[in-house]
Structure 1
Amino acid sequence: MYEGWDAAGKGGNIKRVVKRLDPTGYKVVSISAPTEDEQKYHYMRRFWRHIPLSGEVTIFDRSWYGRVLVENVERLTEPWKIEKAYDEINILEDFLIDNRCILIKIFINISKDEQLKRFNKRMNNPFKAYKITNEDWRNRAKWDKYKEAISTCIAITSKSHNPWIIIDGDSKYNARIKCLEYICKVLKKNL
């Protein structure tokens, strides 16, 4: 599962990870804001249908962590529900691991300056301008609040048996290599 700042390179990183995989054995699930219909149910419901069967791989481009990150910073969810979500996330992940799911949590971190460079580069490229939205700029304006939410999230949900790995994403190339190395290391250990 990938989390990270806007323009951190999550999508490009995922493309490199799946490049040599058998396309029948994995799926990539890109998560965005919940739809009106999804909001009628518990927030975890929309993720359950994507949990892989034994022998399959699901790569989440963003995940249930949106509850404690975006929904928290943007005040879309009441504070007590955010606190409860941490427990629910830890319980879910323990359940998955107890049932032999290999859960890899990657956070791609970039500096505020690097994010601005990437935003501007996207804005000036007609083939990538669609990737930058008002929401991206709004989130950037709340950098410090997101940074605090990310730190809290990682502190609460990184466990010895289920750690986060923080990848320095200022160099996309180096970040891709580090992610691939880490994924290979975890898979070798657990398969």
Structure 2
Amino acid sequence: MKSNASMSRILHLNQLNQEEKLSAEEYQLKMKVLKNQIRDLTFLSKEKERPVLFVFEGWDAAGKGGAIRRLTQEIDPRLFEVHNISAPNAEEIQHHYLWRFWNRIPKKGHIGIFDRSYYGRVLVERVEGFASESEWSRAYEEIALFEEQLVSFGTIVLKFWLHIDSAEQLLRFETRKTDPLKRWKLTDEDWRNREKWSLYEEAANQMFQKTDAPKAPWYLIPANDKYFARTKVLETVVGRLQEELE
């Protein structure tokens, strides 16, 4: 049974309003307040010995890295760690896929941030055929149980999907291709993934439906406008931490 809060959240990508925008002036004003609130709330989570786990997923070039940088700017560096998740290495691939994430979950009073995550099992591994259908199908329950254990330990879990539309992604890819400072971000794999947009969209929507939970909710963020997306992430964090800690 989903809570009233989960029932009011959008859990399908096609229902998001990508027309949401913020001016540069509105963005600066909001961010100043939000960053101060996050700094205070993360100190409170330390005081109350509550671990916090942020999961960031979304399309290539959707702005996950930028959102994470703004989230962490005012947090004490001793309290958080960002984990940039890529393909498992030779040792990790010999274990259950959740093993490398168990080794990275935050301890009491600390914050863990996954830039990509264990949800790769039901996204890239599903779409690209790195996991069999039986493996990725049972992963929904495995992940739900994993998050239940984190919540039982006292962990505050927030999961974000940053959503841009196909046209916006193409624009950002072309910008990266022509900018010497951003060219490194664009890979052949990004272009290949783009060709399977509909498959990834189907996998993402199914993932939201099967793994959204009252204490481990998904927040789908319209991200065509970077200013709006960053403030929406921080507003969500502030609201959730206030609810859990105060």
TM tier, smaller: over 0.9
Partner of 2:114: 60
Alpha-carbon offset, residue 125 of structure 1:
0.4
- 1:18 aligns to 2:67 (yes or no): no
Q: Which amino acid counterpart does residue 187 of structure 1 have in structure 2? A: L
Task: Name which of 80, 89, 96 aligns with 1:42.
Answer: 96
Q: Which amino acid counterpart does residue 118 of structure 2 have in structure 1? A: W
Gaps of 5+ in 2: 1-54
The list of structure 1 runs, each at least 4 consecutive aligned residues, that deviate by more than 4 angstroms after superposition, is none
Q: How does 1:96-107 map to 2 (within 5 A)?
A: 96-107=150-161
Task: Name which of 113, 138, 144 aligns with 2:167.
Answer: 113
- 1:174 aligns to 2:232 (yes or no): no
CA contact (8 A) 2:79 2:111 kept: yes
Cα separation, 1, equivalents of 2:218 and 2:233 = 12
Q: Which secondary structure does the structure 1 equivalent of 2:219 belong to?
A: strand
Q: Calculate percent identity across the aligned residue pairs.
A: 45
Q: Which secondary structure does the structure 2 equivalent of 1:147 belong to?
A: helix
Kindly provide the CA deviation profile for residues 121-163 of structure 1, in whole angstroms up to 9, marking residues without a partner as x.
0011011101000100000000000000000000100123321
CA contact (8 A) 2:156 2:215 kept: no
Alpha-carbon offset, residue 37 of structure 1:
2.1
- 1:28 aligns to 2:63 (yes or no): no
Number of residue pairs matched?
191
- 1:129 aligns to 2:177 (yes or no): no
Question: How does the TM-score come out when normalised to structure 1?
Answer: 0.98
Task: Name which of 60, 85, 104 aligns with 1:6.
Answer: 60
Partner of 2:46: none
Question: How does the TM-score come out when normalised to structure 2?
Answer: 0.77
Q: Which secondary structure does the structure 2 equivalent of 1:103 belong to?
A: strand
